[in-house]
Amino acid sequence: MTPRVIVVGAGAIGCALADELTRRSAAVTIIDAAVPLSGASAATFAWVNAYDKSPTTYRDLNLRGIDAHSRRSQRMQDDIRWFHQTGTLQLARTDTDFAALHEQIKRHQEWGIAVRPLTRTDVMNIEPRLSSTATLGGALFPDEGWIDVETMCNHFLGRAQAAGAAFHPFQTVIDIDIRNATVTTRSTDGDVHRHEGDVVVLAAGNGTRDILAAAEIELPITDPGAKDSLGIICTTGSVPRGITHVLRASGIALRPSRNAGITLTDHPTGAVWDVDDPQIWTVPGLLMQRARSLYPFLRDVSIESISLGRRVLPNDGLTIADWVGRDSSVYAVATHSGITLSSYLAEAVTSEILLGTRDHSLREFGMDRFAP
Ligand SMILES: Cc1cc2nc3c(=O)[nH]c(=O)nc-3n(C[C@H](O)[C@H](O)[C@H](O)COP(=O)(O)OP(=O)(O)OC[C@H]3O[C@@H](n4cnc5c(N)ncnc54)[C@H](O)[C@@H]3O)c2cc1C
């Protein structure tokens, strides 16, 4: 019998899941409260990495994430290329940075992660528009890169729909029956609908917390209103001959963007202010100032768009991918680093749902680790 799977949420995780479930012959219905990419996936830095991640099981999960994107992406035609495996260039700007980077290189090599130490000349050769005074040297992580999230999600969702999946935008899940795989939605015009399946997968990002709360189940994720969950992503207008790599230095991270501009962020800087504090709007200027100290040609370039995003943060920082309660027909995926993990989680979660056995790579990421 073809299993009927309802996927709630059309972010990076939901779109990747819908594609994989459909590809493996499930009958899929996708529901979103708004349009695709209305949550964290719309305001993400989208850096694909396993950088300094711990514990080992979580690092391995992220390495599987990089590998899955790489495999899938190689099967794509050029016009729908979404994984840009540019490598990450980590810069050292001071002697202290340099000593810390040396330790990081050693640690990553011990973990079996590809990384190459670079002299200042090496750095200038691979990123020639960088200011020659900006760095003492660096490290290249060649397997990493960034995702064009919009192209990836459009591709996954489009392919799922072409294979028969139904997509219902503007329907908010307001109730869930976890024994009978049924969700109740309210559309923007107030109509209430019931959707019945054999399995419901909750991939609604921070929204999953509210959906489960309606069934009196607590999802152990950080309150999305908390300061630490907030991030600011800025993108410049198009920059001819911009930058090549994902580039990270103290106080700033940059990467090429889908509009041929440059996307900027910095986690600690973006998470200092409350969202309604006017001081938050000093962050884009600060990031641009730091970017210009690395790339003087950015003097004449300005920021074209700013997005505020709320991270999906399980209480221990690690992924949640598990059935919700015993004998339940509801599966929940809630994770930070969801861009890195999307293709792999789609494969592993689909196997769990269709085969009914726990995937060994997800064993450490169950709900039971939060049990008192
Ligand atoms: C500032 C920032 C920077 C980040 N940087 C990186 C990075 O560099 N690399 C990386 O790998 N990850 C990064 N992340 C994390 C990553 O973006 C997220 O883990 C990922 O986007 C989560 O995707 P998702 O599909 O689970 O959730 P979301 O993208 O939030 O999607 C959830 C969807 O569910 C829908 N929804 C919500 N509630 C309901 C409801 N009740 N009914 C129906 N639909 C509902 C929403 O409309 C939304 O479309 C970053 C996140 C932020 C915020």
Residues 141 and 88: their CA atoms lie apart, in Å, by: 5
At 149, which helix (H) or strand (E)?
helix 149-162
Residues 86 and 69: their CA atoms lie apart, in Å, by: 13
Residues 126 and 137: their CA atoms lie apart, in Å, by: 12
Mutate to test the pocket of ligand 1, among 227, 272, 331, 336 (most ligand atoms within 8 A of CB): 336
Assess whether the region 4-47+149-224+315-370 and the region 85-145+226-310 belong to the same CATH fold. Answer: no
Q: What angle do CA 68, 72, 76 make, to 5 degrees?
A: 160
Is the CB–ligand 1 distance for residue 145 below 6 Å? no
Q: What is the pLDDT, as a whole number, of residue 66? A: 98
Q: What is the pLDDT, as a whole number, of residue 241? A: 83
Closest atom of ligand 1 to CA, residue 34: 47
Residue nearest to atom 2 of ligand 1 (CA): 44
Averaged pLDDT, 178-203: 97
Torsion angle (degrees, nearest 10) of CA 263, 269, 271, 275: -80
Q: Specify the residue for token string 């996936």.
A: 41
What does the pLDDT look like over 336-357, one tens digit per residue?
999 999 999 999 999 999 999 9
Averaged pLDDT, 272-287: 88
pLDDT at 277 over 90: no
Residue nearest to atom 50 of ligand 1 (CA): 44
Q: Specify the residue for token string 């963007």.
A: 257
The CATH superfamily label for domain 85-145+226-310 reads: D-Amino Acid Oxidase, subunit A, domain 2 (3.30.9.10)
CA distances (Å), origin 144, targets 26, 65, 245:
32, 10, 9
Extract the tokens encoding 275. Answer: 């969202």
CA distances (Å), origin 54, targets 83, 89, 118, 278, 300:
24, 20, 25, 35, 40
Q: What three-state secondary structure class fits 301?
A: coil
Q: What three-state secondary structure class fits 187?
A: strand
From the CB of residue 347, how many other CB atoms can be counted at a distance below 10 Å? 19
Q: What percent of the chain shows pLDDT beyond 90? A: 87
Residues 141 and 47: their CA atoms lie apart, in Å, by: 12
pLDDT at 169 over 90: yes
Residue nearest to atom 31 of ligand 1 (CA): 11
Q: Specify the residue for token string 């397997």.
A: 143
Residues 7 and 183: their CA atoms lie apart, in Å, by: 10
Is the CB–ligand 1 distance for residue 45 below 6 Å? yes
**Cβ(209)–Cβ(333) below 8 Å:** no
What does the pLDDT look like over 319-335, one tens digit per residue?
999 999 888 899 999 99
Extract the tokens encoding 360. Answer: 């060994």
Ligand 1 centre from 311 Cα, in Å?
A: 7
Residues 362 and 75: their CA atoms lie apart, in Å, by: 25
> Which residues sit opposite 12 in a β-bridge?
none
Number of residues in the chain: 372
| Phi, psi torsion values for 75, nearest 5 degrees | -85, -5
Q: Where exactly are the structural domains of the chain?
A: 4-47+149-224+315-370, 85-145+226-310
pLDDT at 264 over 80: yes
Is the CB–ligand 1 distance for residue 207 below 6 Å? yes
Q: What is the mean pLDDT of the chain?
A: 95
Ligand 1 centre from 105 Cα, in Å?
A: 30
Is the CB–ligand 1 distance for residue 33 below 6 Å? yes
Specify the CATH architecture of the domain 4-47+149-224+315-370: 3-Layer(bba) Sandwich (3.50)
Ligand 1 centre from 232 Cα, in Å?
A: 14
pLDDT band at 80 (very low <50, low <70, confident <90, very high): confident
Averaged pLDDT, 166-178: 97
Mutate to test the pocket of ligand 1, among 339, 340, 341 (most ligand atoms within 8 A of CB): 339
Ligand 1 centre from 319 Cα, in Å?
A: 13
Residues 232 and 301: their CA atoms lie apart, in Å, by: 18
> Among 245, 295, 255, which residue's Cα sits nearest to residue 118?
245
Ligand 1 centre from 64 Cα, in Å?
A: 19
Ligand 1 centre from 43 Cα, in Å?
A: 8
Residue nearest to atom 13 of ligand 1 (CA): 337
Averaged pLDDT, 168-174: 98
Residues 342 and 68: their CA atoms lie apart, in Å, by: 9
